[in-house]
Chains A and B, each alone.
Chain A
Amino acid sequence: MACFSEQAIGIVALLLGVSGSIKRLNMADRIEKKQQSRAGKIGVFLMDRSFYVLGVLLFLVIWQAASTLKLFGSDFSEAFSPLAAALALVEMGRDGDIVRHAIPSLRRVLVSLAFAILFALPVGVLVGYFKRLEQLTYVVFQFMRMISPLAWMPIAIIIFGVGDLSVTFLLWLVAIWPLILNTAHGAGRVSPLWLNMAKTMGARDAGILRKIIIPAAIPDMLTGLRLAVGVSWIILVPAEMLGVPDGLGYFILDTRDRFRYDQLIATIVVIGAIGYLLDSANRWLISKYSWKI
């Protein structure tokens, strides 16, 4: 199992170090495209990205138009506009509100993910590899994964009290299912040919697990991780409405209580943007570490 925890730590480290790696990727891109002229390069880049950018611009225009035409009702329309949100965002950036609340949110998600990975990957590998274990756990796992972790909230609060621990527990609870089930799927569909090959190479159960099953399941583990990150980030907001003093979910309620709807919208934008970045990091991990046949 030593190697397994290495992998888990590796994945966590990669998650944390992903921004640095993205920079490196861009460097490689730049070197590759050095031959092209600067203008040509920008032209190609814009052509490639034009429809993505256009989509975002269209969205902003429709949003702004809806605010200006008071489609949200006359009371809030001004505060709900992207312009107001942008100004609030600048303000929140300046006085540190974004960092103050984004950091605890990210910490909660990453800590719970780390624990989810440590728990779910071994469980998933074993469940996927041993048919009997899969049969034993199948109904329970499928049943459990359909329960919103928020339903566990009162129990979490009884056990862990109001605060960080409860939130982390709920996030952990939501993250383990996609990780377990995807890992099990990956570990279960390993080609029998590879298993036979490993046996003729002198591998026993531990060797087969380390050298075949776990690496073979990595693409599915990463898919599971992507789903886990997505669903954790979604559950984070309501979970942080359960009595913690900081975090983006908490700040949503706080802005509401202060009638700062522009800040509320700005917080929503921040939540979406961080979620998008986390998912991009996962997509990058998948493209980098998924083997192809």
Chain B
Amino acid sequence: MNMTNNGNSRKPLLELQGVSKVFNKEGKDFLALENVELSVGEGEFVCILGPTGCGKSVTLQIVAGLIEQTSGSVILDGTEEHGPGPHKGMVFQEYALLPWRNVIENVEIGLELKHVPGNERHRIAKEQLATVGLSGVEHQRVHEISVGMRQRVAIARALANSPRILLMDEPFEALDALTKEEMQIQILKVWEATRTTILFVTHDVDEAIFLSDRICVMDINPGRLKKVLVNHLPRPRHECMSRTDREFNEMRDEIIGLYSSLKDEELDLII
């Protein structure tokens, strides 16, 4: 199965070649991910969609370098990747903000680790906060701002490192429906403003359709890539209207159709 040219005419930035992952649970091997082949073009917005247990988060963490694959390779910009680094910005579902730092200090952490001087750090952090639509809360404590704002801070923090790719692991799952929608629009604005390549993991079909250029639909037992769909919905998609479009619904039907062979109890999709 070669997805390299499946609807992706742009130069591939990220390639996963035959990536598999075996976990060892209490002495028993468990195949979490089987032979994933995937490529993401420069500037592309790709969603990985699948039910719980399909290995979508594992895939993302392998790309991030937080988990090592059992076999296969991750290639970014033509070189094989080993381990994590600031060129692969990660946004976690649980924000992972540091409670002893205020908003701007949280955004600055990557720059501090790179020994960027203070005022330069400040300038970049402010700029990134503005990119995610946050200003005037720089000196607030993390626990004083709303959950939606926290995830914006986490996005700004990842962007401050000017990553080659932004990896997002179900970033909006902990948010209420309204905030979630607001954040989806925000991330599209960020993507359009920065042209950063985004690999976005979700189990929400609508979210994947609303955001992506392509959707990698994953399946379970073992976790594997089932199909890559090209999303032809026109951009920009800022208007809420797009969710009721005919094309939107056709896309959704197609995805749900892919899962219809699965038993209901194996699905944990928000449809």
Chain B 64-94, CB within 8 Å of chain A: the 1/0 string? 1110000000000000000111101110101
Across the interface, do A200 and B143 meet the contact criterion of CB distance under 8 Å?
A: no
Of A6-14, A212-220, A232-240, the one with at least 4 CB within 8 A of chain B: A212-220
Which residues of B pack against A, CB within 8 Å?
64-66, 83-86, 88-90, 92, 94, 96, 98-101, 109-110, 112-114, 141, 143, 157-158, 161
Of the candidates B83, B96, B113, B143, which one forms a contact with A211 in the assembled complex, judged by CB atoms under 8 Å apart? B113
Of the candidates B84, B89, B96, B161, which one forms a contact with A193 in the assembled complex, judged by CB atoms under 8 Å apart? B96
Task: Specify the chain A residue showing the minimal Cβ separation from B89.
Answer: A200
Q: Bound state CA distance, A217 and B3, in angstroms?
A: 47
Q: Residue A293 at the B interface, CB < 8 A?
A: yes
Across the interface, do A200 and B86 meet the contact criterion of CB distance under 8 Å?
A: yes
Across the interface, do B112 and A196 meet the contact criterion of CB distance under 8 Å?
A: no
Residues of chain B within 8 A (CB-CB) of A212 are 98
Across the interface, do A215 and B100 meet the contact criterion of CB distance under 8 Å?
A: yes
A-B residue pairs, 6 tightest by C-beta: A291-B100, A202-B86, A197-B96, A200-B90, A201-B110, A199-B84
Of the candidates A200, A203, A211, which one forms a contact with B66 in the assembled complex, judged by CB atoms under 8 Å apart? A200
Residues of chain A within 8 A (CB-CB) of B101 are 215
Residues of chain A within 8 A (CB-CB) of B114 are 202
Residues of chain B within 8 A (CB-CB) of A202 are 84-86, 110, 113-114, 161
Q: Residue A276 at the B interface, CB < 8 A?
A: no
Residues of chain A within 8 A (CB-CB) of B89 are 200
22 contacts between A and B (CB under 8 A): A193-B92, A194-B96, A198-B109, A198-B113, A199-B84, A200-B66, A200-B84, A200-B85, A200-B86, A200-B90, A201-B109, A201-B157, A202-B85, A202-B110, A202-B161, A211-B113, A212-B98, A215-B100, A215-B101, A291-B99, A292-B99, A293-B99
Q: Bound state CA distance, A66 and B43, in angstroms?
A: 84
Across the interface, do B143 and A197 meet the contact criterion of CB distance under 8 Å?
A: no
Residue of A200, A218, A291, A293 contacting most chain B CB atoms (<10 Å): A200
Residues of chain A within 8 A (CB-CB) of B65 are 199-200
Residue of B89, B110, B141 contacting most chain A CB atoms (<10 Å): B110
Q: Bound state CA distance, A209 and B92, in angstroms?
A: 21
Q: Residue A207 at the B interface, CB < 8 A?
A: yes
Task: Specify the chain B residue showing the minimal Cβ separation from A191.
Answer: B96
Across the interface, do A197 and B113 meet the contact criterion of CB distance under 8 Å?
A: no
Give A9 Cβ to nearest chain B Cβ, in Å. 19
Q: Bound state CA distance, A201 and B158, in angstroms?
A: 8
Task: Specify the chain B residue showing the minimal Cβ separation from A199.
Answer: B84
Residues of chain B within 8 A (CB-CB) of A193 are 92, 94, 96
Give B167 Cβ to nearest chain A Cβ, in Å. 8
Task: Specify the chain A residue showing the minimal Cβ separation from B87.
Answer: A202
Residues of chain B within 8 A (CB-CB) of A201 are 86, 109-110, 113, 157, 161
Give B199 Cβ to nearest chain A Cβ, in Å. 13
Residue of B84, B89, B90, B94 contacting most chain A CB atoms (<10 Å): B84
Given contacts A212-B98, A216-B100, contact A196 B66 (CB under 8 A): yes
Give B238 Cβ to nearest chain A Cβ, in Å. 29
Task: Specify the chain B residue showing the minimal Cβ separation from A197.
Answer: B96
Residue of A193, A196, A201 contacting most chain B CB atoms (<10 Å): A201
Residues of chain B within 8 A (CB-CB) of A191 are 96
Residues of chain B within 8 A (CB-CB) of A292 are 99, 141, 143
Residues of chain B within 8 A (CB-CB) of A197 are 90, 92, 96
Known: A193-B96, A215-B101. 9 other contacts (CB 8 A): A193-B92, A197-B96, A200-B86, A200-B88, A207-B113, A211-B109, A215-B100, A218-B100, A292-B99
Task: Specify the chain A residue showing the minimal Cβ separation from B94.
Answer: A193
Residue of B98, B114, B161 contacting most chain A CB atoms (<10 Å): B98
Across the interface, do B113 and A200 meet the contact criterion of CB distance under 8 Å?
A: no
Q: Bound state CA distance, A197 and B110, in angstroms?
A: 10
Of the candidates A199, A203, A215, A293, which one forms a contact with B143 in the assembled complex, judged by CB atoms under 8 Å apart? A293
Q: Which of A162-199 contact B (CB under 8 A)?
A: 191, 193-194, 196-199
Give A138 Cβ to nearest chain B Cβ, in Å. 26
Q: Bound state CA distance, A220 and B85, in angstroms?
A: 30
Residues of chain B within 8 A (CB-CB) of A198 are 109, 113
Across the interface, do A194 and B98 meet the contact criterion of CB distance under 8 Å?
A: yes
Q: Bound state CA distance, A200 and B84, in angstroms?
A: 5
Residues of chain B within 8 A (CB-CB) of A291 are 99-100
Across the interface, do A199 and B66 meet the contact criterion of CB distance under 8 Å?
A: yes
Residue of A197, A203, A216 contacting most chain B CB atoms (<10 Å): A197
